[in-house]
Amino acid sequence: MMDFLENESPPQEDCYKLSKWQGNAIAGVDCGQDGHVVFYPTGHVLQQACAWYSRGELEDDPPCSSTVIETGSPIRQFIVMGSRDAYHSTSTAKILAAARGHTHCTIIAAPSRVTRDNVWKIQAKVKLSLPGVIKHITGSPHAEAELAVVTVDGTVRRWDPEGGVQTVKKDLYVSDRVLRCEYSSQPNTRPSCLMWQVQAPSFPFMT
């Protein structure tokens, strides 16, 4: 995988000037017997989203990549939404991922298994624009499409296809800026339990 990524996006000559966010802009899914699917950025400024498949349709087929999707700005983070069990149970499942840019997120759908007909069918489903710079995103493991977003002003928002973008927490004090958020891994939690971390000396909140 590392050899593939280095050939796809060669390192810059001056490695000391690499942006610190480049190391976490990869997310993957274990699809059981169908192999692995890895989302990664490519393009001149890493503004394109792409999916890499560890195996093809047949056992002897080599690894392959999907087409690319333009997101409009360098991708700083990838996350995958939904239950990993769903990707193991059916080869027709769609994997939903989110690519975080500067002030927007692009929701991407990709097949969980490669066939000759669908390898090019990665799609941009939704593009979310936020009123501030996005600091962190996370996907719910309990819903097919649910995303939480933290912006630099300390506001926590969540998104799903039905409700759109909704504010969960805002107007925090300056000393309580939110750093990141995560969903609880506790199964069968409805609604999803969303936790966020704030700077010391405060403690994490939960809703």
Query: What pLDDT does 75 receive?
Result: 94
DSSP secondary structure of 115-174: -TTTTT--EEEEEEE-SS-EEEEEE-SSSSS-EEEEETTS-EEEEETTTEEEEEE----G
User: Torsion-angle region of residue 161: left (phi > 0), alpha (psi -120 to 50) or beta?
Assistant: alpha
Out of 24-33, 149-158, 197-206, the most confident range is 149-158
User: Which is higher by pLDDT, 105 or 199?
Assistant: 105
Q: What pairs with residue 48 in β-bridges? A: 42, 70
Which residue has 């966010």 as its token pair? 21
Percent pLDDT > 90 in the chain is: 30
Percent pLDDT > 70 in the chain is: 69
Query: What pLDDT does 185 receive?
Result: 72
pLDDT in tens, 88-142: 555 567 889 999 999 999 999 998 887 777 666 789 999 999 988 998 999 988 8
Residue 20: pLDDT band (50, 70, 90) is very low
